[in-house]
Every structure is written in structure tokens, then in C-alpha cells.
Amino acid sequence: MSDEATAPAAFVDLQVHTTASDGALPPAAVVQAAADAALHAIAITDHDTVDGLPEAHAAGERLGVRIVPGVELSTHFEGEELHLLGLHLTDLHAMADALADFRVQRVQRAERIVETLNAHGIPITMDAVLAEAADGAVGRPHIARAMLAGGWVREFREAFDKWIGWGRPAYMAKEQFDVADAMALVHRAGGLAVWAHPGELATPARIARLADRGLDAVEVLHPSHPPYLVQRLVEHTEKAGLLPSGGSDWHGTQDGPRKLGGQLVPKVWLDWQDARVATRGTTTA
């Protein structure tokens, strides 16, 4: 029997977050956790930033974990918010330049949320939010952590459920970014465009329309997807000629359903993505 036949199954995790955006652990610690979990590769997909990738790559080389360069973008399609992953990025400078404006918009959105919370009697400050974000791209999780630290909520999730989640008093929508423009940006940076955690919205018709606009893959494995939906998404994705992807959407917490490597994404899915990039002859611009 060959060594290959007796080798343990290899798994990857193609959606992971760090303190470069709203994760709880710095990139090197995330890569260490991936090595401890015996993962072959992880994709660093911070929100609206690629700043964590150099540290992650250095740690990956040291620990023997492949780092897939990525990003997560909030976009809109047909009146719905759609989260898009850019995986296998090769031109990080092009992506970073394009994302600079998004980071300014994130701060402005956080300022509006803080002002609304103040108007509702919660004396949180923007300085406290920025302290939680450190050098990362500011997001609602940083506001939630500042609220928790200040004693205005009893637990992290309460901040979303009561104050800053969709439909709550201090919710503020992001600036709309058309999904076609986002996919074009990902392609210019050398990457594959992946529909992140689509849930029940990923009907065959909607997948086909997105494929016509440049979608490359669908994240079929995600903690929010029950088994019946995973099977359905695999079938829809294959029928559309797209690739499957999957990830834990891990933000560094030790509790809850999002566990690093918990989705058991097979390495062969990463191999298929690599082949698509090579076959397409992706170029940077």
C-alpha cells in the first residue's frame, strides 16, 4: 500500500478572519491555530483589507501551512446584501489601493452608529471603538466589544440583537457596492470570486445570473448551512459550472458553531480552484 493511500485526509479552511479586520487573534496566531488543527491550508479573508497577509504568509512558511490570499467584500445584488470572497489574490497592491476608500467608509459608518447609541443613552465613544479595532478595519464587532467592555451589554451577541444588528435602533447599512464591480475588482487582483455563505438565497437562477457576471465559486460548506442545504448547493454549483468552496468563517473565538477547520473542507476543492486559476490564465491589472 502506498504512502499516499495511508496518509490522513487533508483539509483546508477557506474563510478565516484575523485582527486585521474583526477577528480576535493576530494573523500569526491564526496560522498557529491552523497548524495545531493539522490544516493543509487556510484562506485569510479579512473584511475590506489585505493588511494581515504578510504576517500570515511568514507564519505559514515557518509552520508549513499554505496561506491562500483573500478578502471579504460586502456587496449588493438585486436588492440584497451579498458577501463576496476574493480568493487566490496575486496583486495585493491593487486590492489594497481599491480598499482604502472602503476603510474610510467603515470609520464613518461606525461614527454614525456611535452617535445613534449616544442618542439612546449609551455613552460609548469612538475612541473606545478604535481601541478595540487597533490597526484593523473598523466593523460592528469592535463596537460590540466596546459596548461589552463598558458594561452596556452583558454579552457580545446582545449588542447585535438589541442595538446594532439589522433592524435594530443603531443599525447602519454600508455603502452599496455592486457585486459585478466587486467581482471585476477581484479578477483584476488575480483572484477567484466566491459567493460567501449564500444560504437559501442561492437558487439555480440566481447562481446562473451571478455566473454570467463573473462568479467563479460558491461557498457551499459554512456553519450556517445545514446538511440538506449543503447537498443542494453542491448540486446547483456543479450544474452552473462553478466550483465549490467552504470555510468556518472563524473569527478566533473558542465557543459557538464556528470552529477553525470544523467544516472539513477537502483539499481537492482547493486543488480545483488552483486549476481554475491556472487554466483561466489569470492576469493582474
Q: How confident is the model at residue 285 (pLDDT cuts 50, 70, 90)?
A: very low
- Which has the closest alpha carbon to 261: 72, 5, 36, 68? 36
3-state helix/strand/coil string of 10-58: CEEEEEECCCCCCCCCCHHHHHHHHHHCCCCEEEECCECCCCCHHHHHH
Q: How confident is the model at residue 8 (pLDDT cuts 50, 70, 90)?
A: low
CA 59 to chain centroid, in Å, comes to: 20
pLDDT of residue 176: 81
Extract the C-alpha cell encoding 128: 473606545
Residue 272, C-beta contacts closer than 8 angstroms, at least 6 positions apart: 243, 244
* pLDDT tens per residue across span 16-33: 999 999 899 999 999 999
What distance in Å separates the CA atoms of residue 177 and residue 134, rounded to the nearest whole number? 25
What distance in Å separates the CA atoms of residue 12 and residue 246, rounded to the nearest whole number? 8
* pLDDT tens per residue across span 199-217: 999 999 999 999 999 999 9
pLDDT of residue 125 exceeding 80, the answer is: yes
What distance in Å separates the CA atoms of residue 128 and residue 142, rounded to the nearest whole number? 9
* pLDDT tens per residue across span 231-272: 999 999 999 999 999 999 999 987 677 899 999 999 999 999
Query: Are the C-beta atoms of residues 271 and 277 closer than 8 Å to each other?
Result: no
What is the value of pTM for the model shown?
A: 0.81
Query: Are the C-beta atoms of residues 44 and 69 closer than 8 Å to each other?
Result: yes
